[in-house]
């Protein structure tokens, strides 16, 4: 009976046995994931102003910057200045998201967690030396 149960268990973990014995930094992952659960990802909100007709109108900027047109005794400001708030995820947040999402995907058989689902395709994580040098630059700004 015991041998049969052990064989079934071994068959389940055959594909990841080598990864479990690897030098994967699970402690670091759990620190990052714990931080993510407590604080979330840092985002930088950027205000973008552009000329147009669709969106939230910035009346102050429209009145100050748009040419004034008089039409049938009406004062028109055209074109309108549209204000849009856009979230920008900083580099460190994208690195955290990559670590969380890739680890949860790679070890999905025994790790549970909520993925960030943040798009990190604009960073080439296969170029480890570049990513590490960027992280070192970020670290210098906080020390």
pLDDT of the residue at 6:
43
Task: For 52-75, write each residue's pLDDT tens digit.
Answer: 888 899 999 989 988 888 889 888
d(CA 22, CA 55): 51
| Residue 115 · residue 101 · CB < 8 Å | yes
Q: Which domain holds residue 77?
A: 46-87
Whether 81 and 98 share a structural domain? no
Whether 110 and 127 share a structural domain? yes
d(CA 104, CA 89): 20
d(CA 126, CA 42): 23
Average pLDDT over residues 81-110: 90
Residue at 8 is within a domain: no
pLDDT of the residue at 143:
63
pLDDT of the residue at 96:
95
Whether 65 and 77 share a structural domain? yes
Report the alpha-carbon angle 95-98-102, nearest 5.
150
Whether 25 and 55 share a structural domain? no
Return the higher-pLDDT residue of 63 and 141: 63
Residue at 3 is within a domain: no
* pLDDT(18) > 80: no
* pLDDT(109) > 60: yes
In the chain, how many domains are there?
2
């Amino acid at each position: 009976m015991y041998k049969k149960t052990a064989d079934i268990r071994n068959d389940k973990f055959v594909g990841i046995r080598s990864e479990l014995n690897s030098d994967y930094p699970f402690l670091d992952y759990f620190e990052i994931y714990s931080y993510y659960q407590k604080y979330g990802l840092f985002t930088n909100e950027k205000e973008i102003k552009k000329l147009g007709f669709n969106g939230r109108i910035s009346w102050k900027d429209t009145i100050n910057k748009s040419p004034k047109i008089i039409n049938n005794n009406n004062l028109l400001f055209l074109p309108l200045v549209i204000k849009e708030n856009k979230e920008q995820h900083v580099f460190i947040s994208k690195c955290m998201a990559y670590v969380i999402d890739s680890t949860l995907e790679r070890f999905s058989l025994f790790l549970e967690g909520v993925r960030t689902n943040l798009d990190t395709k604009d960073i080439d994580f296969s170029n480890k030396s570049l990513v590490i040098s960027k992280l070192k630059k970020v670290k210098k700004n906080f020390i």
